[in-house]
Amino acid sequence: MAAAIERSQDYLLRIQKPEGFWVGELVVDSTLVSDMIAFYHWDGKVDPEWQRKAVDRLLAMQLPDGGWNIYHGGPAEVNATIKAYLALKLAGVPVTDPRMLQAREVALRMGGVPRMNTFSKLYLALLGLFPWDYVPTIPCEVILLGKWFHVNFWEMSSWTRAMLVPLAILNHFKPTRVLAPPVTLDELYPEGFHERDLALPPDPQGLTWRNFFLWLDRLHKFVENYKLRPFRKWSLAKAEKWMLERCERTDGLAAIFPAMLNSLIAMKALGYADDHPQVVRARRELERLQHVTEDDVRIEPCFSPVWDTAIVLMCLRESGVAADHPAVVRGAEWMLDREIRFRGDWQYKNPTQVEPSGWAFEYSNEWNPDVDDTAMVLLALRLIPTRQPERCDAAFRRGLNWMLTFQCKD
């Protein structure tokens, strides 16, 4: 056991970045690559060489039964399978290819396009492959709902808000771009393309939350169709401002792939030119998530340096590496530099006058420090007397006080 621990220590010390942190690659399912292929076709800017590598990645991730899963070792899942099928079809893989035929069979067996989730159907609608009338409406006015309303904007998680706002902008503009040459997914409707299969089915039990939200969506669509939207101009402007503000002080909107991609599409729907600084930055941050090699494309959903560094430092210290080891000290000081002293979006849910502090998961996400990363950093810092003990003690005290204000009433 001692030899295994020593080898592990040597390995971790060897892979430390020069700046002092550790970061591992977040390996996820195929949907991110599929979404990027679909986006590039929507945007009309496809790099054939990049696309070739992306196709190879998707085909390498295809399951033996022909589908794609959403977690390692899991079964085929309908959204991942249809997204991959569409991406391959957009990239020019013939539908007669045996791998496509297999994927088609799996998709149909799972219910096909009608069984996809809301986010997936919205992406299809952007490509003219699903009618907007059957995509659940996300009104921009949701951003106007404050704490006075039981279900409100600030009760949602940070990632949910960051996904919702750009999707609400897309729902307003409905920026469908018809593909050339035309592509359809008619073959992925088990009963053929018919409107009766497009609407979400109600709950037969009657008075349920599902039926309430289906009724609410019908009300939203009535409002949209008859343009009964007195607050739309205001709420749309507020949504745009909120989104652009939160692209600052962070590695892209919420520093997470779905929100980052949605924000880029929303900016283009709003009319921002390709050379606009916001568009350039959004595209750059998305590209940072990509690992492009000679034969492959992998995409991470986000980066995890703060979390990884805290875990590694605890492992090194608990396994016997000295507190004054240069690598340990360098890692601790890198974490201290990541403390967020900005009063971010947490203030709306937690209006206490506590001194701002906390840590986020990613390199930069100042709007959204979180409790679990902060706890992990504090656990690591308590084991490491840095070269700046007063600074470390002050950050530890601030972080602990900040974290305690988030304790729930129970």
State the catalytic residues.
372
Q: DSSP for 82-118?
A: HHHHHHHHHTT--TTSHHHHHHHHHHHHTT-GGGS-H
Q: Strand, coil or helix: what is 15?
A: coil
Q: Are 265 and 126 in contact (CB under 8 A)?
A: yes
Q: What DSSP character marks residue 226? A: T
Q: What DSSP character marks residue 46? A: -
Separation between Cα atoms, residue 341 and residue 399, nearest integer Å:
10
Question: Within 13 Å of residue 266, how many CA atoms lie on the same side as its CB?
Answer: 30
Tokens of 185: 């997914």
Q: Which helix (H) or strand (E) holds 395?
A: helix 389-404
H-type alpha helices, 226-276? 232-245, 257-269
Residues 6+ apart with CB under 8 A from 194: none
Number of Cβ within 10 Å of residue 152's Cβ equals 15
> What is the Cα gyration radius of the chain?
24
Tokens 């957009």 correspond to 90
Q: DSSP for 351-366?
A: ---PPP--B-SSS-BT
Tell which residue, 403, 349, 350, has the closest CA to residue 146.
Answer: 349
Tell which residue, 350, 366, 367, has the closest CA to residue 405.
Answer: 350
Q: Per-residue b/e over 337-356, b at no fewer than 16 CB within 10 Å?
A: ebbbeeebbbeeeeeeebeb
Q: Are 229 and 206 in contact (CB under 8 A)?
A: no
First to last CA, the chain: 43
